[in-house]
Structure 1
Amino acid sequence: MAKALYIAEKPSVAQEFAKALKLEMRNHNGYKEGETAVVTWCVGHLVTMSYPEVYDEKYKKWSLETLPFLPEEFLYEVIPSAKNQYEIVSQLLNREDVDTIYVCTDSGREGEYIYRLVEQMSGVKDKGKQRKRVWIDSQTEEEILRGIREAKDLSEYDNLSDSAYLRAKEDYLMGINFSRLLTLKYGNTLANYLHERYTVISVGRVMTCVQGMVVRREREIREFVKTPFYRVFSSMAIEGTGIESEWKAVEGSKFYQSPKLYKDNGFLQKEDAGAFIAGLTGNTEFTENENGQSSQQTEGTQAVVEKIEKKKEQKKPPLLYNLAELQNDCSKFFKISPDETLRIVQELYEKKLVTYPRTDARVLSTAVSKEITKNIKGLQNIPGVRAYAEEIIANKSYQGLAKTRYVNDKQITDHYAIIPTGQGFGAMKSLKPLSVKVYEVITRRFLAIFYPPAVYQKVALTSAIEGEKFFSNFKVLADPGYLKVMDYSFFKKKLEEKPEEDADSGLCDTELLERISAMKKGTQLPVKSLYIKEGETSPPKRYNSGSIILAMENAGQLIEDEELRAQIKGSGIGTSATRAEILKKLVANKYLALNKKTQIITPTLLGEMIYDVVNASIRPLLNPDLTASWEKGLTYVAEGSITTEEYMVKLENFIKRRTDVVLNLRNQYALRGSFDHAAAYYKKGKTKGKEKDNEKV
């Protein structure tokens, strides 16, 4: 009897497919078999690209004479540690009684690549077997069965397969050629400077670009010169309550566009701020409090109400989570790395609790939106969010979801956003506390989209003292809307433990807002005091493990060329599946330092030196525009817009051209000045301050 063979990416996933098929199956070494079906699995990658020395023994020794290395045909080999499972899968693929193959590896570029390599090595492609691709968004039984039922012919994914092969070839060729090239050219220079026996310079298409982002940010911070400025405030009385109002040099002010100001609300010199206040009151005497804040008590000074603007402001629920957004929030909430977040959400996926995690989309598909009640009803089993799920069902808030901004088929490539499945609750007892918290974050974000926006009542007050304008803004939360869903169980009442975006500024009580709203133009308010607040400009913030992932996803924002920025929109640097691993590798290579407590990322001295080497030799590797445009090219291949031949010609020409440039450079000695400049920030005498300032490990 002919049988169908199901090939999953991991044993745990294969187990779920076997359950969904509802067949009596016997366990064998590396697979399960029933009367009409066989289920087996890979263990991640079973096949990999061969090292250069497999092509020719001469490549074993690193030499400039053998560069660039550009094979006409690429060689592949079975990974030694995975040989046993490969043999099992290969034999099953070639069994005569297997007439249909269901490819059930992860639904994405890498999952496609894992299977295609096995198929290529096994020689099964031309044996007349029917090959079908199962594409699923969760591991629930109904989704698995839908995926099998709607499986398309594998050939429909050939373009995706081509882009996967090209991605691997690109990383392989750039990594091998440029790492060998720069190590041979500059390795001794670095080793001598660092007093090491040798130094290998490891570079890559994506990781070197990310390294460059971190180094550039660190140098921006070092070179930043703080500018002090002095803002002027008034304290006015409204029926016994004091309110603060800030002066701004708007049109009509004596200081409008004055060179004495920083922007429009601060004097560059404290003396000028004091003279300005004295001009308003006729009093030149000031007092200073313990914080050094200069103030002047004012008697008889009046502010005149010039304008009161009232409006309602709506704050909509945020879009759903993709992997990058989730990694960023988990870095902020729990101080965990993107790699750890991915591990947790992958576990939640494999336990059927959430949908596929390696996604760039933050919206749902139209098809999913039509059946979303299944997900919501399931959440009635979770005590912490039961009330919200019940309210959504009772009010039928899910109706019309397809017409909202949370559903957009055009914004989905492989998978929709990460949401709870509404199933798998039996596995929650086995979850660690942190995993439960991550699940809660995903669940609350999902439920929030079925609630109305939060509504704020806002009042903007403009007053004048001697013709100079002072501004105050007040608001109250009139209707919490979706915000009531975002009451995370893991945050206490302490404000500092709340996420930054939840700490709304300018909030006041309803009574005060009503009093301010009731005032009329021309109302005079007694001024209790005028005072000066000293501030200073701030340097850019260092990346943390979450914000660097977002920066990689939104690489287009770092690109100045408008046309290219539009061209690569949606590609970014790396993919949702690889970004966490790239960051992990940079830390493992000791090119970047990650403070585990704060998740702040800074470069190491070695990382800065390699940055200088790359900047002086293959500068495009540091630029987001090049890296993102390569990623966009892979997308074009997956879409069928360009051919693999076109892509490879471009890639090989780039490698040849850049190799030739580096071979002709003679700039090793000149780099010493750059090394000295960077090393000054890593001297032992500065270690304590450096750790405090840069938050290094």
Structure 2
Amino acid sequence: MGKSLYIAEKPSVAQEFAKALKQNMKRRDGWLESDESIVTWCVGHLVTMSYPEAYDPKYKKWSLSTLPFLPKEFKYEVIPNVKKQFDIVSGLLNRKDVDTIYVCTDSGREGEYIYRLVEQMAKVKGKTRKRVWIDSQTEEEILRGIREAKDLSAYDNLSASAYLRAKEDYLMGINFSRILTLKYGNSIAGFLHKNFVVLSAGRVMTCVLGMVVRREREIREFVKTPFYRVLANMDADGAAFQGEWKAVKGSRYEMSPKLYRENGFKDRETAQELIDELMDSDRMGALVSVEKKKEKKNPPLLFNLAELQNECSKRFKISPDETLRIVQELYEKKLVTYPRTDARVLSTAVAKEIHKNLNGLAKYEPTAELLGFIARERTHKGLEKTRYVNDSQITDHYAIIPTGQGLPALKSVSATGAKVYDLIVRRFLSIFYPPAVYQKLSLEMVLEGEHFFSGFKILTEEGFYKVTGIPGNKKGKSEEDEETVPDAELFARIQKLKKGDRIPVKGFEIKEGETSPPKRYNSGSMILAMENAGQLIEDEELRAQIKGSGIGTSATRAEILKKLIHIKYLSLNKKTQVITPTLMGELIYDAVDHSIRSLLNPELTASWEKGLTLVAEGQITSEEYMQKLEHFIAVRTNGVVGLNNQYQLKACYDKVSPYYKSMKK
């Protein structure tokens, strides 16, 4: 009987597989071996797509005459600096005493692609191939993955979508970067007083650049509008509070052109007129409505990678790329489950075994006491019937949760890494706690036919905030904008008020405000906007409902952002994580906007990603997808050749350059 060969994506992962197999493995140069098995590894990608000049030397020179470049057969080559490891892996794959290959690369589209390219270049034939698909690197999960490994052919559609994603990025990058550089590179270089400029374009990166530039221009063109609100200062038996005037039905200002929305005026003079009129009254308001209600706030859904990147950007001011690096390290140290996931829920199978994760976390000191409540109340029972478990919302992997294992490895994690782990643990434990409960109180008072409104909100039951911290508190800092939360004594007094009560008005004041421009993206909100196809959806419940194919994938979004910053199309403020375009980025945006505008369209970019998902699901064929892709590239590339819009673009460059005076020499 032949040997089994296990091929992992990284040396550290291969080491975990070797440990889990519990065989007397001997270390060789580039692999581990026992009497029954061999364990080897890639070092990320070992094989890549060849540059155009590998097809024909004429493609080395960038020329309009060689575009569009659409080869019928694609060429691949071994990456030179990892050739030694490729030769080792290739030799092992083809060894006569190896009869079964276990593919243990990362469980996702990119991991599939890494292995398939190696197999293709190594020309492997006549072997049984099994796919190990795991959600964490614990020994138990590794052994389950090996035991339940399916035939590799079950992942052929996923492999097809991986090949297509690479071809798409390759063809769009080569054709659009070349045509845009040939057409506009000289004019942009001249404008910036540079010798030459290469315009880098891509399916995802150009779209993201567009989102940032559009947002910057919205902010630039925004005109602030001042408005003036009228507030009444009231005192009910020592309980002092304010009411806000609104022009509701019955008001003398209802539908007035002097209004800025219903709760303010365009001019201070009009606000003062209203106050002057009300000052002449007896200043005793009548309480016409007292509304009391409880509001429950459920624990949020679990983290997927985008949510975690957004939260870490807000809390710890770290980039999405850094968050991914940290959570990948936590995964490799067996502390958390697979990080490159879009799902925010668990599978039914995992929910039934969740006690194992909880038991392991009893040894994690910062939250150990929180597990007492879960154990006492047995709140983990019936988890599969909650909103935190939904098999239909999981494609490759479930949400990121702590495994409850590997805790000694926390000592070797950075201080920020430990904070990220704590965040994941607390989000996980919070789903076993009850909702937080607020008591809300709304008052409506009428004075001389004018209505004033007051709203109060106080936390009466901490619920899951015991785990995550109360929003606004240091323990759980949040940007949530809660209504006024008075102290308990004031709230108790106001609660005694009832409909019909007369309330003395001590005076009035004008509060000036102004409209706000849209917010710039920060690195975290950018990732969320990419996940939601260009829409920055702040509401977490709504995000869960809208979930679909976004721009890029959980595995690639941080890398795209990092690349745009590296090539200086975007600028990142490391302290605040706020993202802005550079002058170069804006000029390239204008060039694309006047030539291949659809590249800037988030919905279109997301639809390409959706198409890859349909290939992975077997709903459309690779041929159908490739046909559409080649047509899209050919039409757009040929369209740019015929354009004559340099003069028009010069006007665009002139318009934007004053905002970057210090940068343009």
Fold match by TM threshold 0.5: yes
Equivalent in the alignment of 2:78: 78
1:114 counterpart = 2:114? yes
State how far apart, in whole Å, the 2-side matches of 1:4 and 1:584 are: 39
Aligned CA distance change for structure 1 residues 460 and 147 (closer, same or farther; 3 Å): same
Residue in 2 that maps onto 1:593: 571
1:75 maps to amino acid: K
Task: Report if aligned partners of 1:456, 1:478 keep a CA contact under 8 Å in 2.
Answer: yes
SS of alignment partner, residue 384 of structure 1: helix
Within the alignment, does 1:42 sit opposite 2:42 as a pair?
yes
Q: Check whether the contact 1:16–1:139 (CA below 8 A) recurs between aligned residues.
A: yes
SS in 2 for 1:413: coil
1:334 to 2:316 alignment: yes
Which residue does the alignment assign to 2:450? Answer: 468
Residue of structure 1 equivalent to 2:396: 414
User: Map of 1:143-222 to 2, 5 A cutoff?
Assistant: 143-222=141-220
Is 1:616–2:594 an aligned residue pair?
A: yes
Aligned to 1:350: 332
Aligned equivalent of 1:545, options 520, 523, 527: 523
Moved more, 231-240 or 389-398: 389-398
In 2: Cα distance, 1:499 partner to 1:314 partner: 18
Q: Is the 8 A contact 1:418 1:442 kept in 2?
A: yes
Equivalent residue pairs, number: 660
Answer whether contact 1:361 1:415 (CA < 8 A) is retained. yes
- Residues 604-651 of structure 1 show CA distances to partners (whole Å, capped at 9, x for unaligned) of 000000000000000000000110000000000000000000000000
Letter in structure 2 aligned against 1:452: P
**Matched residues in 1 for 2:184 and 2:616: separation?**
37
CA offset digits 1:386-406 (Å, max 9, x no partner) = 011232122211011111110
What is the deviation of 1:492?
Answer: 10
Matched, 1:129 2:127: yes
Question: 372, 377, 388: which one pairs with 2:354?
Answer: 372
Secondary structure at the aligned position of 1:304 is classed as strand
1:649 to 627, 637, 657: 627
- Any idea what SS the aligned residue of 2:485 has? coil
Q: Amino acid of the residue matched to residue 52 of structure 2?
A: P
1:447-458 equivalences under 5 Å are 447-458=429-440
Question: In structure 2, what is the Cα distance between the partners aligned to 1:33 and 1:388?
Answer: 44
In structure 2, what is the equivalent of residue 405 of structure 1?
A: 387
How far off its partner does 1:108 sit? 0.2
2: CA distance, partners of 1:198 / 1:556: 32
RMSD: 1.9
What secondary structure sits across from 1:305 in the alignment? strand
Secondary structure (helix, strand or coil) at the match of 1:5 reads strand
SS of 1:481's partner is: coil
Q: 1:661 aligns with which of 630, 634, 639?
A: 639
Q: Does 1:388 align with 2:370?
A: yes
Residue in structure 2 matched with residue 250 of structure 1 by the alignment: 248
Partner-residue secondary structure (3-state), 2:508: strand
In the TM superposition, what whole-angstrom CA distance separates every residue of 1:280-322 from its partner, at most 9, and x where no partner exists?
A: 1229xxxxxxxxxxxxxxxx51111111001000000000000
The verdict on how the C-alpha distance between 1:492 and 1:516 changes in structure 2, with shifts beyond 3 A counting, is closer
Alignment correspondent of 2:27: 27
Q: Give deviations 1:152-183, integer Å, cap 9, x for gaps.
A: 00000000000000000000000000000000
- Name the counterpart of 1:51: 51
Secondary structure at 2:486 match in 1: coil
Q: For the structure 1 residues 567 and 429, does the alpha-carbon distance in structure 2 shift closer, same or farther, using more than 3 Å as the test?
A: closer
CA contact (8 A) 1:376 1:393 kept: no
d(CA) in 1 for partners of 2:288 and 2:91?
Answer: 84
Question: Do the aligned residues in 1 keep the contact of 2:472 with 2:478 (CA within 8 Å)?
Answer: no
Whether 1:499 and 2:448 are equivalent positions in the alignment is no
Residue type of the alignment partner of 2:486: C
Deviation of 1:522 after TM superposition, in Å, equals 1.6
**DSSP 3-state at the match of 1:267:** coil
Q: Which region of structure 1 is more displaced relative to structure 2, 198-207 or 676-685?
A: 676-685
Provide the rounded CA distance (Å) in 2 between the counterparts of 1:573 and 1:546.
14
The match for 1:674 is 652
Task: Answer yes or no: is the 8 Å Cα contact 1:205–1:621 preserved in 2.
Answer: yes
> Matched residues in 2 for 1:161 and 1:118: separation?
13
1:190-219, Cα deviation, whole Å (9 max, x unpaired): 000001000000000000000000000000
2:501 is aligned, of 497, 515, 523, to: 523
Contact 2:137 2:331 in 1 (8 A): yes
What's the counterpart of residue 422 of structure 2? 440
Distance apart, 1:512 and its partner CA: 2.3
Q: Deviations over 1:78-131 (max 9, x none)?
A: 00011000000000000011000000000000000000000000111xx22110
More deviation, 406-415/247-256: 247-256
The one-letter code of the counterpart of 1:96 is K
Task: Please give the TM-score of this superposition, normalised by the length of structure 2.
Answer: 0.97
C-alpha distance in 1 between matches for 2:544 and 2:601: 16
Measure, in 2, the Cα distance between the counterparts of 1:255 and 1:367: 61
Instruction: Report the identity percentage.
Output: 69
Give the match's secondary structure for 2:6: strand
TM-score for both structures, normalised by structure 1: 0.93
- CA–CA distance in 1 between the matches of 2:654 and 2:126? 64
SS of structure 2 residue aligned to 1:16: helix
How far 1:465 sits from its partner (Å)?
Answer: 1.0
Give the secondary structure class of the aligned counterpart of 2:416. helix
Q: Distance in 1 between matches of 2:662 and 2:173?
A: 33
Q: 48-57 or 520-529: which moved more?
A: 520-529
Displacement, 1:660? 1.1
Distance in 2 (CA, whole Å) between partners of 1:397 and 1:670 is 65
Give distance in 1, aligned partners of 2:255 and 2:31. Answer: 76
> 2:277: which partner in 1?
279
Match of 2:616 in 1: 638
Greater shift, 386-395 or 261-270, is seen at 386-395
Distance in 1, matches of 2:191 and 2:291, equals 64
The alignment partner of 1:532 has SS state of strand
Distance 1:567 1:674 in 2: 39
- 1:340-392: CA deviation from partner (whole Å, max 9, x where unpaired): 00000000000000000000000000000000011111111011100112321
Tell me which amino acid in the other structure corresponds to 2:555: A
1:236 and 2:234 correspond: yes
Aligned counterparts of 1:387 and 1:464: Cα–Cα separation in 2: 50
Partner of 2:343: 361
Residue 686 and residue 76 in structure 1: after superposition, are their counterparts in 2 closer, same or farther (change >3 A)?
Answer: closer
CA shift for structure 1 position 227: 0.7
Contact persistence 1:556–1:568 (CA under 8 A): no
Corresponding residue SS for 1:528: strand
Judge which range, 663-672 or 537-546, deviates more: 663-672
The answer on whether the counterparts of 1:476 and 1:508 sit within 8 Å (CA) in structure 2 is yes
**8 A Cα contact 1:377 1:393, kept in partner:** no
User: Which residue in the other structure is 1:695 paired with?
Assistant: none
1:189 aligned partner, one-letter code:
S
Q: Deviations 1:211-248 (Å, cap 9, x if unpaired)?
A: 00000000000000111100000010021231011011
CA distance in structure 2 between the aligned counterparts of 1:449 and 1:428, rounded to whole angstroms: 23
Q: Is the partner of 1:45 in helix, strand or coil?
A: coil
CA displacement at 1:250 relative to structure 2: 1.1
> In the TM superposition, what is the alpha-carbon distance from 1:568 to its structure 2 partner?
9.3
Gaps of 5+ in 2: 538-542
1:311/1:457 contact within 8 Å kept: yes
SS in 2 for 1:463: strand
SS of residue paired to 1:675: helix
Match in the other structure for 2:137: 139
Contact residue 558 and residue 624 of structure 1 kept, 8 A: no
- Aligned twin of 2:540: none
- Residue matched to 2:441: 459
Quote the residue 1:555 is aligned against: 533
C-alpha separation in 1, matches of 2:663 and 2:145:
62
SS of the residue corresponding to residue 83 of structure 1 reads helix
Paired residue secondary structure (1:555): coil
Tell me if 1:580 matches 2:558.
yes
Matched position secondary structure for 2:362? helix
In 2 relative to 1, CA 567–256 (structure 1 residues): closer, same or farther, beyond 3 Å?
Answer: closer
CA distance in 2, matches of 1:28, 1:321: 39
